[in-house]
Amino acid sequence: MEKEVKGFRNRIFTLVYIIYGIFSVIEWSQISTIYNNYEKIYLVSQIVCIPVLVFLFISSHPRKKIFILYIIIASYALGVGFFLKDTRFLMFILFFFAAVNVDYKNTFRKDIIIKILLFLIIFLAYKAGYLNTLGIISRETGEIRQTFGFSYPTYVMYMIMIISMEWIIIRAKQLTYLELVLISLLGYFFGKVTDARGETVTLYFVIIGVLLACKLFKSKSYIFLENKLIRTLLIIAPEIACVLSYLLVIILKPGSMLYGIINRFSSWRLDIFQIYLHNYGIRIFPAKLSLNYLGADGKWVQVIDNCYLYLGIQLGIICLITYLIIFSYLIKNALDYHRIIMVVIMIGFVILNTVEYVTLSPAIALYCVVWSKNMHRKEVRKRNETRSFSSCTNL
């Protein structure tokens, strides 16, 4: 009976995750611009997912304390989403809790097929002339950034990055050098034509991390990740990245050499961050801000392209702290249960968060549905019972 319930939860979760992903990818594409009311359709699709995700969590039979915590966090996230008309944080929280005891590899095996099909459909629609490449000019090179039917170049690279990461997770210890090379070439090509540097760097970081930890030096991975200092730094990596993000904006002054280097490397994001942080500051609760900044190229910028700053400035410090705690918990979870690949991927997202804010969405932040243990059980396995980093069998 227990296996049947678990199998049912897995199937329902996979279905919801895929549905959410499908509507999210369409939202990223120019298909959404063809239908004027697609934003409403996208919102309705998420509203439909919400009760199912709540049911999935309740059906996992949480302990009383966990259930109370869930009600508090989920209710607050719902209020934030309703107030700002921004559902990213809400969906992140709901998918995170609903994923308890779910076979995430099985979910990714099905999701990767759908994402590849969606990418090909959008790409072929672009080649057939139904969708266009937008004339977005790279500030760095002056060349046109290709969109291949998507609404922005970075969304193309998001698709490549997510598909590649899911493939790496699915293949795990069976992953070959040839596969890593092919993923690298794929990332290089799309990274080049879209000029989506943050996503390209993140993908290469994951490839190199997996290559080092699970291929070239897999016998030493156990010792390296058992080091208390390394382990602690990895667990608090989101907090470190968050603090550095705020310090750079607060301390660095326009005109300094370091400011110029970082600002240019981040595509002038530092200018934008300073505008918003200095004008609005960090808030405890969410606030409706007038996010409009006229960039150096004469175009209006309406986003804070840093997940940590976006959370602290617009959604509020409560959301930021909640997100950081969950992120660190997932990294610790992966370390405890030897999910080396997931540790590498999550650290990659820690870095990507410094230059993107949409990475909060579960459609991109795939790590939020990766659990390695049951949070409801009081007993905790002893580390020595299952630790085998050197064999890379628990990837």
Q: What is the pLDDT of residues 104-137, one digit of tens each?
A: 999 999 999 999 999 999 999 999 988 877 767 6
Domain boundaries, the chain: 1-122, 132-216, 219-395
Please, are residues 153 and 57 in contact by the beta-carbon 8 Å criterion? no
Distance of CA 384 to the CA centre of its chain: 31
Q: What is the pLDDT of residues 345-356, one digit of tens each?
A: 999 999 999 989
Whole-model pTM: value is 0.90
In 274-330, beta strands by DSSP E = 293-294, 300-301
Residue 63 has pLDDT above 80, yes or no: yes
Closest of 200, 239, 260, 227 to residue 335, by C-alpha = 227
* 3-class secondary-structure state, position 365: coil
Residue 380 has pLDDT above 50, yes or no: no
Q: What is the pLDDT of residues 136-176, one digit of tens each?
A: 766 666 677 888 999 889 999 999 999 999 999 999 889 99
